[in-house]
Amino acid sequence: MRARWLLPMGAGAAAVAQVAHAVQYLTVEQAQRAAFANAAAFVPVAVDIDTAAIGAPAGWKPLMWRVQGDAGALGWFFEDAVVGKSELITYTLALDASGKITDLEILDYRESHGGEVRLAAWRNQFKAKSATDPVALDRDIRNISGATLSCRHLTEGVHRLLQLYAHVLAAKP
Amino acid sequence: MKHRLLALAIAAWGASLAMPAHADDAALKAEVEALRAEVAELKAQVQQMHAVQVAPAAAAVAQAAPPAPAATPPAAPNPGRSMADAATGNATSLWGYGQLDYNRPTARAADARADLTRAVLGFNHEFNETTRVYGELEWEHAIASADDAGESEVEQLFVEHALSPNYGVRVGLMLVPIGLLNEHHEPTQFYGVERNFVEQAIIPSTWREGGVAGYGTTDSGFQWDLGVVTSPDLGKWDPTSLDGRESPLGSIHQELQLSKAHDLSIWARLNWLGVPGLNIGGAVFAGKIGQDTSKQFEGDANFPADNSRLLVGEAHVRWQSGPWDFTALYTRGSISDTQDLNLSFLGQPTPVPKSFWGGYAQGAWRALEWNQSSLVPFLRYEAFNTGAAYASLPQGFEIPALPTQRVWTAGVNYYLTPNVVFKFDYQDFRYDDPALNYGNRFDLGLGFQF
Amino acid sequence: MRNTFEKTLLLVALVAAAPALANAAAAPTAASLGDEIFHDTSLSSSGRMACSTCHDPANAHAQDNDLSVQLGGPDLATPGFRAVPSLRYMNLNIPFFFANDGTPTGGFTRDGGARDLVAQAHTPLLAAHEMDNVDAAGFAARLAQTTYADAFRAVFGANVFAYPETVLLAAEFALSEYQRTDPEFHPFDSKFDLFLQRKLMLSPQELRGFALFNRPDKGNCASCHTSTRQSDGQPPVFTDYTYDNLGVPRNAEIPANADPAYFDMGLCGPFRTDLAARTDLCGQFKVPTLRNVATRHVFFHNGAFHDLKSALEFYVQRDTDPGKWYPLDAEGRVHKFDDIPPLLARNVNTTEAPYNRKPGQAPALSAAEIDDVIAFLKTLTDGYDPITNTADPARDVTP
């Protein structure tokens, strides 16, 4: 009997919630500020990527910024996207000046399942990893049961960005 | 955006015209080349316009191995997945999976079967950045027609609306969020050729209901689901068939096939994922399942189980760390008010159980790994009983509980890539039941997902 | 206050309904004409035979005598070919078709030759061994003489008697409407129905019989005589509307059987002709409802058995003790399945329980178990009276 009332109630609640909350993901700028609160400038970097050398597909071109502080270089900031199951996951990665991960943020998740990669506990696994770490699912990065594809593909994406840093950016002044 | 699509379409049309390859079609070819160049240019512009930069699909799938140098012209989208479209929020994308099995009972080789168990196509279409429709279409056993054994079915079809990055609402036909396999049943996601018995017999395979459901995650690592959905229909129970013994709920769920919807159910699930690699949680599905059957026939049929209630509970823990993957799951269901119904089924092979349960423990170890491939032996022990207890009947007519079936499964998943798996296993049954295809057997399988 | 309101409402409703009620009482309908036709002996060449003569309402719309086949024609001396089936619960029957697995299903009369409840009445009205109207003209002429001929015109058209074929079809339609709408053909008021409705409990013996009836390793009766509700809650009708070949012994009481070359083979002929080429179906007859089975005077399509106990014994002992049921041939061997040509004897069902046994084995049901099943079958008789614990199918029949 009571179930009869749950439907309209649920619909009503959904409508109220709809008004109260628009979907709010971090913007790139917000993610940059969150990662580098003291940054003075984010300088876009354009380099030619020898994708074959770092095991990335041809034509791959993530967005990159060198992060400047008042007292010199603070680190690096990347924006890239990988496919989760069938849709893109847009994410940002922040490295400190020594190439260690300080932040991984999911900017946009567009699928019905696997969104658990947004959990802070999972993303925190990447903190302090660098290009010398395996950064591979089921090795030093643990899986989320039920979100395997998203976990795998994000981990691969981060791995690629770390290799990009090590092979290309670390050599630059 | 529309211009680019139009250009693509024209290019494709032009290309198809060029296909017959008439020797004197040089002019047309030139035109096509011009169009291609234009498309490439347009695409470059579009990419510049969008801040978000996009990796080709292959990037996501590729692991460490460098791919072959791409010969694909930039204008050619990846088959089945238009990346640039996805980035704009106007995407329709396709995905799918398939499973081919070979079962060979050791005692009855004549019953060996090779089967295209399932071929599935799924789609995901975004209306805007918060609203999408998600569907999964399946063919079972290769050929589905009035005269064939196969089935053609819609496994999921729902509209999802995200109210925030952390929660949203779904309306439509949805998989019941119970157990570990139901929502994630692609063959690359489970060990062994066949799905485990507990999540076929107790929790029916790909159990789905129609309704409204909320979902979400919390920052502390909780994943929750709460839904009001259609119920199974106890009026469908066929005591003359073995279906109810194979899977009590599998024989009465309705799959939104003109579902009787007088009675509704509620589902609730809570998982905690706060430690990476750990999934600990449980789910409940509860509701009335009599569907007011007694009032459906014009006569005074007075179906004696109008008030029957179903309650299914489930708890699980999974721990994945390094090469290890351990799982334990227990589930139990009960159906109330079955006494009078079973009295009307007296002597029939399959009365309605009062309770049924199952559980399994499984361990898997990624023993070898090279390039994208890996070899994962596993061992699983299952115990389940689809008729653990029956409501009491008059003296002399009591229905004895069914024996508990116990199955050991040992085997190996060989992942050619993370999304293509060859499987081999041996299953040892405590007791044979040819009617349900239970008996020691070897299984071979191929599964993939894209 | 509320009371007054309700009373007012009732009054208004009554006033509004009064003309309709008065009309309903007076105006004839197809069903009311069917009622007249069903009981009218003047519609036969003998002047002494109506539908109700053989389909006696007081005997659950089946015969009330012990004859294997009934006598009809001008002098009520022409014998028929098959035993009379009950007309009860025929409204739930379905048209003939082959199921996906090839099983012939549905259809009316013993061989499914009649498409529906309308067509079912055709042969009895015309056949020489029954009401013997010969053709539509003969039938229409008799109907035109009845007291309800004007009512017939009122329902089917003032000029209807100018078209005898239409008169026949209209009469068949009227009969089908009568059977479809009058609850006396489908009262669902047996003891078993009351048991399903949880209004009473069956006796231990009846429950035992019910279980034996259902059990696949015992009677296995329910595998054809379905004892479960349909998914929409429709009470069981005790038939799945399929056909089976039981190898029932030849019945010498049927005069036609005097000719050794004559065989009544149901689906494949001789009366039904459209499936004559399907020799695999020869000998199959429709599974009848078992409701009111305890009131039958003859059993099976050829009326070879005259009591329920013999019919049940035949089921379970046919293969364990064939000598009890079939005659000896010239060489002194039991001639099993003697009512079907020898080359077609393989059509007889010998695979399903309780037929899947060999001579010398124990029958699927013992004598005591047969008594239990009979006790259960008696609960299927319409018109159950809980006070006297008796059933009379005539109880709700209007005289």
Write the DSSP assignment of C285-310 as a string of letters: EEPPP-TTGGG-SSBTTTT-B-SHHH
| pLDDT, average across residues B223-232 | 97
Q: For residue B438, what are the contacts with CB-CB under 8 A and spacing of at least 6? A: B405, B407, B429, B431, B432
Q: For residue C30, what are the contacts with CB-CB under 8 A and spacing of at least 6? A: C155, C170, C173, C174, C177, C178
Q: What pTM value is reported for the model?
A: 0.81
Tell whether A2 is covered by a domain. Answer: no
Residue C192, both tokens: 């078993």
- Model confidence at B119: pLDDT above 70: yes
Query: Would an 8 Å CB–CB cutoff place B292 in contact with chain C?
Result: no
Burial class (CB in 10 A: 0-12, 13-18, 19+), B426: middle
Q: How far apart are CA C87 and CA C184, in angstroms?
A: 10
- Model confidence at B46: pLDDT above 90: no
Q: How far apart are CA A74 and CA A51, in angstroms?
A: 26
For chain A positions 30-49, those within 8 Å of chain B (CB to CB) are none
Share of chain A above pLDDT 70, in %: 85
Query: Would an 8 Å CB–CB cutoff place A21 in contact with chain B?
Result: yes
CB pairs under 8 A between B and C: 78
Count CB atoms within 10 A of the CB of residue A169. 17
The closest alpha carbon to B54, from B42, B65, B46, B63, belongs to B46
For chain B positions 155-214, those within 8 Å of chain C (CB to CB) are none
Torsion of CA A149, A152, A157, A163, to 10 degrees: -160
pLDDT band at B10 (very low <50, low <70, confident <90, very high): very low
- Is there a single domain that holds both residue B351 and residue B424? yes
Helix, strand or coil, per DSSP, at residue B42? helix
Q: How far apart are CA C117 and CA C368, in angstroms?
A: 39
In this structure, the strands spanning B441-449 and C71-72 are: unpaired
The closest alpha carbon to A142, from B376, B319, B414, belongs to B319
pLDDT band at B365 (very low <50, low <70, confident <90, very high): very high
How far, CA to CA in Å, does C210 sit from each of C174, C231, C326, C376? 37, 20, 29, 6
φ, ψ dihedrals at C373, nearest 5°: -65, -40
CB contact under 8 A, A121 and B273: yes
The closest alpha carbon to B128, from A150, A108, A105, A79, belongs to A108
pLDDT band at B199 (very low <50, low <70, confident <90, very high): very high
Report yes or no: B256 and B230 within 8 Å, Cβ to Cβ.
Answer: yes
pLDDT (tens digit, 9 = 90+) per residue, A54-75? Answer: 878 888 889 999 999 988 899 9
Of B39, B61, B83, the residue at which a domain comes to its end is B61
Q: How far apart are CA C130 and CA C54, in angstroms?
A: 10
- Model confidence at B182: pLDDT above 50: yes
More confident residue, C359 or B23: C359
pLDDT at residue A169, as a whole number? 86
Which H helix or E strand runs over B36?
helix B26-49
pLDDT at residue B45, as a whole number? 57
Q: For residue C213, what are the contacts with CB-CB under 8 A and spacing of at least 6? A: B347, C219, C221, C222, C225, C227, C373, C376, C377
- Model confidence at A146: pLDDT above 60: yes
Q: For residue B22, what are the contacts with CB-CB under 8 A and spacing of at least 6? A: none
pLDDT at residue B19, as a whole number? 42
Torsion of CA C213, C218, C223, C225, to 10 degrees: -30
Report yes or no: A145 and B318 within 8 Å, Cβ to Cβ.
Answer: yes
Helix, strand or coil, per DSSP, at residue C223? helix
Q: How far apart are CA B332 and CA A3, in angstroms?
A: 23
pLDDT at residue B31, as a whole number? 62
More confident residue, C180 or A7: C180
Whether omega before C85 lies within 30 degrees of 0, making that bond cis, reads no
- Is there a single domain that holds both residue B123 and residue B8? no
Which H helix or E strand runs over B222?
strand B222-230
Tell whether B140 is covered by a domain. Answer: yes
How far, CA to CA in Å, does B314 sit from each of B23, B279, B324, C81? 68, 13, 23, 64
Report yes or no: A153 and B58 within 8 Å, Cβ to Cβ.
Answer: no
Tell whether B214 is covered by a domain. Answer: yes
- Is there a single domain that holds both residue B105 and residue B56? no
pLDDT at residue A167, as a whole number? 87
Q: b vs e for A27-64, b when ≥16 Cβ sit within 10 Å of the residue's Cβ?
A: ebeebbeebbeebeebeeeeeebebeebbbbbebbbbb
Q: Which of A37-41, B51-55, C219-223, C277-281 has the lowest mean pLDDT?
A: B51-55
| pLDDT, average across residues B337-346 | 94
SS3 content of chain A, % helix, strand, coil (to 5): 35, 25, 40
pLDDT at residue C156, as a whole number? 96
Tell whether A18 is covered by a domain. Answer: no
Report the residue of C101, C103, C196 to disrupt the B interface, i.e. the one with the largest count of B CBs within 10 Å.
C196
pLDDT band at C9 (very low <50, low <70, confident <90, very high): low
Which residues from B are below 8 Å from C228, CB to CB? 238-240, 344-345, 348
| pLDDT, average across residues C60-84 | 96
- Is there a single domain that holds both residue B109 and residue B42? no
pLDDT at residue B54, as a whole number? 38
Tell whether B74 is covered by a domain. Answer: no
Q: For residue C321, what are the contacts with CB-CB under 8 A and spacing of at least 6? A: C359, C363
| pLDDT, average across residues C228-257 | 93
pLDDT band at B55 (very low <50, low <70, confident <90, very high): very low
- Model confidence at B48: pLDDT above 90: no
Q: In chain A, where do the E strands start and end? A: 41-45, 63-69, 72-83, 88-96, 101-109
Residue C343, both tokens: 């080359």
Q: Which of B41-50, B260-269, C150-159 has the lowest mean pLDDT?
A: B41-50
Q: In B254-323, where do the E strands start and end? A: 264-272, 278-288, 309-321
Query: Would an 8 Å CB–CB cutoff place B294 in contact with chain C?
Result: yes
CB contact under 8 A, B263 and A3: yes
pLDDT at residue C99, as a whole number? 93
Which residues from B are below 8 Å from A17, CB to CB? 163
Query: Would an 8 Å CB–CB cutoff place B272 in contact with chain A?
Result: no
Count CB atoms within 10 A of the CB of residue B293. 28
- Sorted by where each starts, the structural domains of chain C and their CATH numbers stand as 30-185 (1.10.760.10), 191-391 (1.10.760.10)
Give the chain A residue whose CA is nearest to the CA of B231: A3
Q: With touching defined as 3+ CB pairs under 8 A, do chains A and B touch?
A: yes
| pLDDT, average across residues C264-283 | 95
- Model confidence at B56: pLDDT above 60: no
Q: How many domains are there within chain A? A: 1
Report yes or no: C377 and C212 within 8 Å, Cβ to Cβ.
Answer: no
Q: For residue C367, what are the contacts with CB-CB under 8 A and spacing of at least 6? A: none
pLDDT at residue B42, as a whole number? 58
Burial class (CB in 10 A: 0-12, 13-18, 19+), B414: middle
pLDDT at residue A51, as a whole number? 84
Share of chain C above pLDDT 90, in %: 88
Q: How far apart are CA B226 and CA C209, in angstroms?
A: 48
How far, CA to CA in Å, does B84 sit from each of A24, A27, B4, B93? 22, 19, 10, 11
Tell whether B83 is covered by a domain. Answer: no
Count CB atoms within 10 A of the CB of residue B135. 17
Share of chain B above pLDDT 90, in %: 68
- Is there a single domain that holds both residue B30 and residue B108? no
Q: b vs e for A81-95, b when ≥16 Cβ sit within 10 Å of the residue's Cβ?
A: bbbbbbbbbbbbbbb
Q: How many domains are there within chain B? A: 2
Neighbours of chain A (3+ CB pairs under 8 A): B
CB contact under 8 A, B346 and C235: no
- Is there a single domain that holds both residue B104 and residue B6? no
Tell whether B296 is covered by a domain. Answer: yes
pLDDT (tens digit, 9 = 90+) per residue, B382-396? Answer: 999 999 999 999 988
Residue A122, both tokens: 């999972």
Choose among A7, A28, A83: nearest Cβ to B57. Answer: A83
Q: Which of B158-172, B297-311, B413-427 has the lowest mean pLDDT?
A: B297-311
Q: How far apart are CA C285 and CA C299, in angstroms?
A: 13
3-state secondary structure B122-140: EEEEEEECCEEEEEEEEEE
Q: How far apart are CA B328 and CA B408, in angstroms?
A: 14
- Model confidence at B230: pLDDT above 60: yes
- The CATH code of the domain that includes B322 is 2.40.160.10
pLDDT at residue B78, as a whole number? 35
Whole domain around residue B39: which residue ranges? 2-61
Q: How far apart are CA C280 and CA B389, in angstroms?
A: 45
Q: For residue A60, what are the contacts with CB-CB under 8 A and spacing of at least 6? A: A49, A51, A160, B55, B56, B59
Whole domain around residue A156: which residue ranges? 23-169
pLDDT at residue A110, as a whole number? 81
- Is there a single domain that holds both residue B164 and residue B27? no
Q: Which of A82-91, B50-59, B82-91, B382-391 has the lowest mean pLDDT?
A: B50-59
pLDDT at residue C86, as a whole number? 96
φ, ψ dihedrals at C315, nearest 5°: -55, -50
pLDDT (tens digit, 9 = 90+) per residue, C283-304? Answer: 999 999 999 999 999 999 999 9
- Is there a single domain that holds both residue B148 and residue B32? no
Report yes or no: C88 and C382 within 8 Å, Cβ to Cβ.
Answer: yes
pLDDT band at B59 (very low <50, low <70, confident <90, very high): very low
Query: Cα B87–B93–B98 angle (5° rounding)?
Result: 140
| pLDDT, average across residues C71-81 | 96
- Model confidence at C135: pLDDT above 70: yes
Torsion of CA C243, C320, C302, C294, to 10 degrees: -90
Tell whether B86 is covered by a domain. Answer: no
CB contact under 8 A, A115 and B65: no
Tell whether A10 is covered by a domain. Answer: no
pLDDT (tens digit, 9 = 90+) per residue, A84-143? Answer: 888 889 999 999 999 999 999 999 888 888 888 999 999 999 999 999 999 999 999 999
The packing angle between helices C30-38 and C164-181, to 10°, is 100
Query: Would an 8 Å CB–CB cutoff place B303 in contact with chain C?
Result: yes
- Model confidence at B292: pLDDT above 90: no
In this structure, the strands spanning B368-370 and B355-365 are: unpaired
- Model confidence at B79: pLDDT above 50: no
pLDDT at residue B293, as a whole number? 85
Tell whether B76 is covered by a domain. Answer: no
Which residues from C are below 8 Å from B147, CB to CB? 100
ipTM: 0.83
Share of chain A above pLDDT 90, in %: 55
pLDDT (tens digit, 9 = 90+) per residue, C136-157? Answer: 999 999 999 999 999 999 999 9
The closest alpha carbon to C63, from C393, C396, C379, belongs to C393
- Model confidence at B74: pLDDT above 80: no
Tell whether B386 is covered by a domain. Answer: yes
